[in-house]
Structure 1
Amino acid sequence: MLAGVSFLATPAKFLAPSLTLPVALDVGRHTFAIFNKIEWLLAVAALLVVLLSRPRSGIAIAGCLIVALFVALDATWLLPVLDQRVGLIIAGRQPPASNLHNVYIGIEVAKLFVLAVISFVIGRRLASK
């Protein structure tokens, strides 16, 4: 889901010549609001599954906690600030220059990396059984 929403569907939307920037941004903010709620559910579910599986190392638990921290940062700080910026653009105003979008991309890349590490650790454990 993370790769599909953040790295495929979202950039592709901006390639559609018939979609204006304000409309694309409005669709994006609604998409990411819903996606963040789903990420919360998946982060909690993943942590429960990992805890119930009694992992031998703390890598999977730490990874799940790191992902949950990233999701919390998105929900409580980054998405609200980005939503304000989108609101300004939709209203026809230009927000001040900011690196917040790059911060969001960095967090998404970090989430993807941590999820890959968790998958590798769990997959290796399952393969050794």
Structure 2
Amino acid sequence: MTLQIGNRVLALFCALWAGIVIGVSFIATVAKFAAVSLTRPVALDVGAHTFAMLARIEWGLAIVLALLIFAARVTRVRLLLLGLVVAILLGEAIWLFPALNTRTALVIAGETLPPSPLHAISVAAESSKVILLALFAAIELKAIKIR
């Protein structure tokens, strides 16, 4: 893959991935909780399923991004940004989503739970992914202009 084509493909791919995260995590999720016809347990259940599907998609996107990086040209910056995004995905998969799913199951079972920082942590993780992917895209676009 030529360098400029590689930069363009990487920029487009990272922008697409960031858009998916924005669409699911920040638009669809907010809209779901704004729907007065959905009870909180139902909205939480739908959210758990939505984020489980998003997580599977994001692991696929991470694999594709890694392949694109190796097809274009491996650089430290590219590997660092990919590594940071993958670290967030791992944190979500190993700790955050299981903890949120436990709380969701308890709410669905009718329990009233005290406030938790987990949702704020989730927003921070999703925001960090979007920022990293946008930064990745911007770096790739800037590299095109330099040449």
TM-score normalized by the length of structure 2: 0.82
Q: The residue matched to 2:138 in structure 1 has which SS?
A: helix
Taking only aligned residues, the RMSD between alpha carbons, in angstroms, comes to 1.2
Give ranges in structure 1 of 5+ residues lacking alignment: none
Distance in structure 2 (CA, Å) of the matches to 1:117 and 1:75: 23
What is the total number of aligned residue pairs between the two structures?
A: 128
Is the contact made by 1:47 and 1:65 (CA closer than 8 Å) also made in structure 2? no
1:24 aligns with 2:51: no
| 1:97 Cα deviation from its structure 2 partner | 2.8
Distance in structure 2 (CA, Å) of the matches to 1:70 and 1:81: 15
Match of 2:122 in 1: 104
Match of 1:39 in 2: 58
Q: The residue matched to 2:111 in structure 1 has which SS?
A: coil
1:58 aligns with 2:76: yes
1:93 aligns with 2:111: yes
Is the contact made by 1:59 and 1:121 (CA closer than 8 Å) also made in structure 2? no
Distance in structure 2 (CA, Å) of the matches to 1:122 and 1:58: 13
Distance in structure 2 (CA, Å) of the matches to 1:47 and 1:11: 31
Match of 2:11 in 1: none
Hey, which of these two has a bigger chunk of helix by percent?
2
Residue of 133, 136, 147 corresponding to 1:118:
136
| 1:61 Cα deviation from its structure 2 partner | 1.7
| 1:95 Cα deviation from its structure 2 partner | 2.5
One-letter amino acid matched to 1:32: F
Instruction: Considering Cα pairs closer than 8 Å and 6+ residues apart, tell me whether 1 or 2 has the greater RCO.
Output: 2
One-letter amino acid matched to 1:35: L
